């Protein structure tokens, strides 16, 4: 892995986060490397899980820089992390130290989409909803003791609810648990009245218990937040490219907020959420360039999708423009993105001389349309193609008609097949499509560490903790080797010598036991 990560041709994308062990009261920083190998397989490896003494931005930047130097990484392309002020300072420090960054590191930092979605929803939930609080208090009351839980289960049975689901709990810091609480309460709403008959202190202790109208309001809340839960689950995946979906998912959130802002009950809530949305995603120039490049590198979207997206953005920001003016401005914006990508393409040509590419005609693949994203579905209905005259490899790729979309379409599979026709762009795609739009991969390491550093293992040194976490992660991923198979490993003289010595020891032991020695 050291050989692979230190290769200058290998583009590495990092995710990082910090976590404090409740048992040791020690703060750890995890660093996870993401990349796509020569066989177009996506990989994730935990490469550091070390103790840190300071949360200051510059100190965290030094820790990251030390990790990069130890592994010999010469082509770190992006780092994805949460939107904390200390992370911004850490990135400012790191950008000054790392060479060969695109546009001087302007797009080096990728802000975690999962974290931003979390901030948007939390701003909405700050708005106190009387009906939600009523149901939350009722659920907490029922879950407080085993006796009440058993009474509620009997009430469910008497109401004819044939399900093994039960009321979910929640915590103030996790909005998704609040969503699950409301959803489960609505599904079991019939049992609340029956429970009140069985438990005499239910209405007395709560003063006001949930009624039918409360559940009707909660139904709308569940429908509204379902979109955010779905998107959070989508961006949490780490085994497939997601960066090409970033723009469409962001704009779909925009459409969702605008749609619900017209409903009286959601006016104040959506207003707060919209403010947070505008802070991070409100203008096209706030987006990372790599997000736009990923759209162009997706054969199902390319420039027509960007044109459609920019028209939507302009329509929202400048509604006074005529359709013709809007179209002209959107096309200019698309061309600007294409020009920036062409500059990156020329850089790749200089760094990696691919010897040209085949200019064969592209075979069009007929695929059925099937997608539940409101914004992307709107685009699919419009169609589109790019017919500008182009002459180099990038321009030839962009002028080809887009491939019709289907849910089981594999973007890595498409590039694996078409890498022969577009070798330089394929290298760009391999590098850019590995970008992480969330830091969930690093956060998931903390769940594992919570089991490793338990209350019975508080004496584990930080070095051993790192060794356990990294080794476990590598062993689990060993079914997808990075470069070499066993035959390639045996070509290493030192490893071959160690294996030979180990075999000789086994032969001696066998001879001592009267067994026939193994032949060479």
Q: How far apart are CA 216 and CA 265, in angstroms?
A: 12
pLDDT for residue 385 is more than 70:
no
350 exposed, middle or buried (CB, 10 Å; 0-12, 13-18, 19+)? Answer: exposed
DSSP state of 171: B
**DSSP class per residue in 486-497:** HHHHHTSHHHHH
In tens, the pLDDT along 434-469 reads 999 988 887 777 666 666 676 666 777 888 888 888
What pLDDT is recorded for position 92? 92
DSSP state of 97: H
Q: How far apart are CA 182 and CA 222, in angstroms?
A: 7
CA distances from 194 to 155, 158, 189, 220 (A): 5, 8, 10, 24
CA distances from 223 to 119, 216, 228 (A): 19, 11, 10
pLDDT for residue 286 is more than 60:
yes
Q: How far apart are CA 163 and CA 157, in angstroms?
A: 9
Contacts of 519 (CB under 8 A, 6+ apart): none
Asked if 30 contacts 444 with a C-beta cutoff of 8 angstroms, the reply is: no
Q: How confident is the model at residue 32 (pLDDT cuts 50, 70, 90)?
A: very high
Query: Across the strands, what pairs with 46?
Result: 32
Of 439, 356, 432, 438, the residue nearest 102 (C-alpha): 432
Sign of CA dihedral 30, 231, 431, 80: negative
Stated as kind and residue range, the H or E segment containing 47 is strand 42-51
Asked if 23 contacts 455 with a C-beta cutoff of 8 angstroms, the reply is: yes
Secondary structure of residue 80 in the 3-state scheme: strand
In tens, the pLDDT along 160-179 reads 888 888 888 887 667 778 88
What pLDDT is recorded for position 218? 85
What pLDDT is recorded for position 367? 33
Contacts of 476 (CB under 8 A, 6+ apart): none
**Opening angle at CA 444, ends 375 and 448, nearest 5:** 160
pLDDT for residue 319 is more than 90:
no
355 exposed, middle or buried (CB, 10 Å; 0-12, 13-18, 19+)? Answer: exposed
Q: How far apart are CA 221 and CA 132, in angstroms?
A: 9
- Could you tell me the pTM of the whole model? 0.80
What pLDDT is recorded for position 370? 43
Q: How confident is the model at residue 213 (pLDDT cuts 50, 70, 90)?
A: confident
Query: Edge-to-edge strands of the sheet including 42-51?
Result: 42-51, 27-36, 12-20, 76-81, 109-111
In tens, the pLDDT along 470-513 reads 888 888 766 566 654 445 544 555 555 666 666 666 555 555 54
Q: How far apart are CA 335 and CA 209, in angstroms?
A: 59
Of 47, 44, 179, the residue nearest 467 (C-alpha): 47
DSSP state of 321: S
Q: How confident is the model at residue 329 (pLDDT cuts 50, 70, 90)?
A: very high
pLDDT for residue 362 is more than 50:
no
Q: Quick one: average pLDDT of 222-246? A: 88
Of 36, 44, 139, 63, the residue nearest 462 (C-alpha): 63
Asked if 430 contacts 36 with a C-beta cutoff of 8 angstroms, the reply is: yes
Ordered alpha helix ranges (H), 144-264: 146-158, 175-187, 190-198, 201-206, 212-235, 246-260
Q: Quick one: average pLDDT of 141-159? A: 89
Asked if 364 contacts 403 with a C-beta cutoff of 8 angstroms, the reply is: yes
Q: How far apart are CA 98 and CA 88, in angstroms?
A: 15
Q: How far apart are CA 433 and CA 393, in angstroms?
A: 19
Going by their DSSP bridges, the two strands 12-20 and 27-36 should be labelled as antiparallel
**DSSP class per residue in 466-477:** HHHHHHHHHHHT
Give the residue, 365 or 438, on which the prediction is more confident: 438
Q: How confident is the model at residue 316 (pLDDT cuts 50, 70, 90)?
A: confident
**Opening angle at CA 5, ends 350 and 353, nearest 5:** 15
């Amino acid at each position: 892995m050291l050989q692979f990560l230190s290769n200058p041709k290998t583009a590495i994308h990092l995710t990082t986060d910090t976590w404090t062990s409740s048992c040791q009261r020690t703060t750890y920083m995890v660093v996870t490397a993401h990349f796509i190998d020569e066989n177009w397989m996506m990989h994730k490896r935990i490469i550091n899980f070390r103790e840190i003494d300071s949360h200051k931005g510059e100190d965290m930047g030094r820790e990251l820089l030390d990790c990069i130097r130890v592994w010999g990484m010469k082509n770190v392309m992006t780092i994805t992390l949460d939107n904390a002020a200390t992370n911004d300072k850490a990135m400012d420090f790191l950008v000054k130290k790392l060479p060969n960054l695109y546009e001087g590191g302007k797009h080096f930092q990728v802000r975690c989409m999962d974290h931003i979605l979390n901030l948007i929803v939390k701003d909405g939930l700050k708005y106190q909803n009387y009906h939600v609080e009523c149901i939350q208090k009722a659920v907490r009351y029922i879950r407080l003791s085993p006796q009440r839980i058993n009474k509620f289960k009997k009430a469910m049975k008497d109401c004819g609810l044939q399900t093994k689901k039960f009321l979910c709990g929640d915590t103030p810091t996790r909005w998704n648990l609040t969503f699950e609480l409301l959803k489960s309460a609505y599904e079991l709403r019939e049992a609340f009245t029956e429970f009140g008959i069985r438990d005499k202190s239910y209405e007395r202790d709560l003063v006001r218990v949930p009624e039918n109208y409360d559940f009707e309001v909660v139904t709308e809340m569940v429908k509204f937040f379902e979109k955010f839960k779905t998107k959070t689950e989508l961006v949490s995946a780490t085994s497939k490219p997601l960066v090409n979906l970033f723009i469409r998912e962001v704009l779909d959130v925009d459409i969702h907020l605008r749609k619900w802002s017209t409903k009286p009950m959601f006016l104040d809530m959506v207003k707060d959420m919209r403010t947070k949305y505008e802070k991070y995603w409100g203008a096209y120039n706030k987006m990372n360039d790599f997000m736009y490049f990923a759209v162009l590198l997706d054969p199902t979207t390319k420039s027509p999708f960007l044109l459609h997206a920019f028209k939507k953005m302009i329509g929202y920001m400048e509604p006074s423009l005529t359709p013709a003016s809007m179209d002209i401005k959107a096309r200019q914006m698309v061309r600007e993105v294409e020009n920036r990508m062409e500059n990156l393409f020329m850089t790749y040509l200089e760094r990696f001389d691919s010897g040209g590419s085949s200019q064969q005609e592209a075979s069009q693949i007929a695929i059925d349309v099937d997608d539940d994203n409101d914004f992307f579905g709107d685009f699919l209905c419009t169609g589109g193609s790019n017919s500008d005259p182009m002459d180099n490899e990038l321009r030839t790729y962009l002028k080809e008609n887009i491939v019709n979309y289907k849910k089981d379409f594999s973007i890595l599979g498409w590039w694996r097949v078409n890498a022969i026709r577009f070798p330089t762009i394929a290298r760009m795609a391999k590098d850019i499509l590995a970008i992480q739009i969330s830091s969930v991969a690093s956060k998931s390491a903390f769940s594992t560490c919570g089991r490793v550093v338990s209350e019975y293992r508080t004496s584990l040194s930080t070095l051993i903790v790192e060794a356990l976490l990294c080794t476990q992660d590598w062993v689990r991923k060993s079914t997808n080797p990075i470069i070499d198979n066993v035959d390639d490993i045996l070509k290493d003289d030192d490893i071959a010598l160690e294996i030979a010595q180990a075999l000789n020891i086994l032969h001696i032991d066998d001879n001592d036991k009267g067994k026939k020695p193994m032949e060479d």
